[in-house]
Amino acid sequence: PQMTAQIGNFTFKHLFLNASGVYCRTKQNLDDLLDNQATGGIVTKSATLRSRKGNPNPRYHSILNGAGSINSMGLPNYGLQYYLDYLLSKSFDKPTILSVAGTSFDENIELLKQIQDSDYQGMTELNLSCPNVVGKPQIAYDFETTNKILTEVFKFFKKPIGVKLPPYFDLNHFDQIAKILNQFPLDHVNSINSVGNGLWIDIETESVVIKPKKGFGGIGGKMVLPTGLANVRALRERLKPSIKMIGTGGITSGKDVFAYLLCGADLVSVGTQLGIESPKIFNRLESELAAIMVEKGYTSVNEFRGKLKSLE
Ligand SMILES: O=C(O)c1[nH]c(=O)[nH]c(=O)c1Cl
C-alpha cells in the first residue's frame, strides 16, 4: 500500500520520523536513522548557537515499564554548526529537518539568520516548546511572544520552516494558536512536544527520579497518546491546508499511527518508544500499518487521512 507524504517540495517515501531529541544528537545517530529503510526523513536534536552540556544527570527516566518517560535534558546538543556541517557534508536521499531551539528571542533569530545565510536547503523546525531550560517558559504558551517571533522570522527567513508545539489543553487555546500560525507561510506544524512539567516519584526512596528542576520534566510515551491525538485533530481542523502536520506523541504501534493519520497527520514521529526499541521500530510500525490498511482494503493513506468520524 502507498504510505507517503509531501511537505512543500519534499516527498517523504515513508511516514516515519524520529522525534527531535531522541536518537539524533550525534552524526552517528543521524546516519543510523538515515540508513533505516523505513524512515521518511531525519530530524536533528534541537540545536542552540553553541554546544550545550544540558542539565545534570539523572535527567531521563522510564516510567511504569516503558508506558511513559520523564525528561529534563536541558537542550544538550553540539551546537548549530555541528548539525549544519553534517547536513552539508553529503547529499541526502531523504528530507532532513534541522531543529533549532534558542534560549532567548535573540538566539532564535540568530539561529535562523545563520541557517538562512548557509547553503542548507533542507527543512527547518523552530522548537517553540522546550519545557526544560531552567527559568525559561515554553514560548508557544505565550501567544504574543509566538506572534512576535514568527513576525520577525518571516522578515528574513525564506527557506522551508515549521514549528514544534507543546500540547494545548483548552479548545480556546487551539483557536488562538491556529489564528496566529495561519498568518504565516509555515510549511508544517509538529505536534506534540512532551507534556511539560510532570513529576514521577520512587515510593521506595520517597524521592523524585530525575535531578533537574526538583524532579519536574516533560512526559512522553504511550500515556500522552490521547493528548497528541487531540492536538493533531484540533490543529488540523483549524490550520490552513498549506500547513502540513507531523503527529508526535505516544506512538508505540501501527494502530497509533493509523489513529494519527485519521486525525490528519501527514507524517508521524516517534520519541520515547524509539529510545526503547531503536530504529528497527520504524520497520515494525510500517509493517503493522500496512497490515491494517490491507485488512481494511485501503491502497493509499490518502483514502483515510484526516477522515476521522465523529459520532453524529
Ligand atoms: O530537555 C530537552 O532538551 C527537551 N526535552 C523535551 O521533552 N522537549 C524538548 O523540546 C527539549 Cl529541547
The answer to whether position 70 is within a domain reads: no
Using a pLDDT cut of 70, give the percent of the chain over it.
Answer: 100
Give a yes or no: residue 43 inside a domain: yes
Residue 120 is part of a domain; what is its CATH number? 3.20.20.70
Catalytic residue among 69, 130, 191, 194: 130
- Look up the pTM and report it: 0.98
Residue 187 lies in a domain: yes
In the predicted structure, residue 252 carries a pLDDT above the cut 90: yes
Peptide bond into 58 cis (omega under 30): yes
For residues 263-268, give the mean pLDDT.
Answer: 98
Q: Give pLDDT tens digits for 156-176.
A: 999 999 999 999 999 999 999
Cell of 236: 488540523
Q: Is the peptide bond before 192 cis (omega within 30 degrees of 0)?
A: yes
| Ligand 1 neighbour 132 (Cβ under 6 A) | yes
Which residue among the candidates 129, 191, 194, 269 is catalytic per the annotation? 129
Which three three-digit cell numbers place residue 285?
510500525
Please give the share of the chain, as a percent, with pLDDT higher than 90.
99
Chain centroid to CA 139: 15
Q: To 10 degrees, what angle do helices 105-117 and 143-156 make?
A: 20
What does the pLDDT read at residue 276?
A: 98
Question: How confident is the model over 54-81, as a mean pLDDT?
Answer: 98
As for the ipTM of the complex, it is 0.99
Ligand 1 neighbour 129 (Cβ under 6 A): yes
| C-beta 133 within 6 A of ligand 1 | no
Q: How does pLDDT run across 85-104, given as a tens digit for each residue? A: 999 999 999 999 999 999 99
Residue given cell 484526516 in the structure block: 306
Q: What residue numbers bound the domain in which 123 lies?
A: 5-55+75-195+222-303
- In a domain, residue 63? The reply is no
Ligand 1 atom showing the smallest separation from residue 132 Cα = 1
24 assigned to active site? no
Are 119 and 86 a contacting pair, CB within 8 Å?
Answer: no
Who's near 121: CB < 8 A, 6+ residues apart? 159
pLDDT above 90: residue 312: no
What pLDDT is attached to residue 40?
Answer: 98
Average pLDDT of every residue of the chain:
98
Q: Is residue 91 part of a domain?
A: yes
Taking only the tens place, the pLDDT of each residue in 175-195 is 999 999 999 999 999 999 999
| Whole-number Å distance between alpha carbons of 241 and 259 | 19
Site to probe by mutation for ligand 1, drawn from 23, 55, 73 as the one with most ligand atoms within 8 Å of Cβ, is: 73
Ligand 1 close to Cβ of residue 215 (< 6 A): no
Burial class (CB in 10 A: 0-12, 13-18, 19+), 103: middle
Query: Is the CB of residue 46 below 6 angstroms from any atom belonging to ligand 1?
Result: yes
174 closest CA partner among 151, 141, 145: 141
The whole-number average pLDDT for the span 22-28 is 98
- Look at residue 312 and tell me if it is in a domain: no
Annotated active-site residue 129? The verdict is yes
Q: Which of 48, 132, 191, 194 to probe ligand 1 with, by most ligand atoms within 8 A of CB?
A: 132
Residue 201 lies in a domain: no
Number of domains in the chain: 1
Whether 173 and 142 have beta carbons less than 8 Å apart is answered as no
Residue nearest atom 9 in ligand 1 by C-alpha distance:
130
Q: Within a domain: residue 202?
A: no
What's the pLDDT band for 117 if we cut at 50, 70, 90?
Answer: very high
pLDDT tops 90 at residue 216: yes
**Distance of alpha carbon 146 from the chain centroid:** 17
Judge if the beta carbon of residue 73 lies within 6 A of ligand 1: yes
Question: Is the minimum distance from the CB of 272 to ligand 1 under 6 angstroms?
Answer: no
Q: What is the pLDDT of residue 301?
A: 98
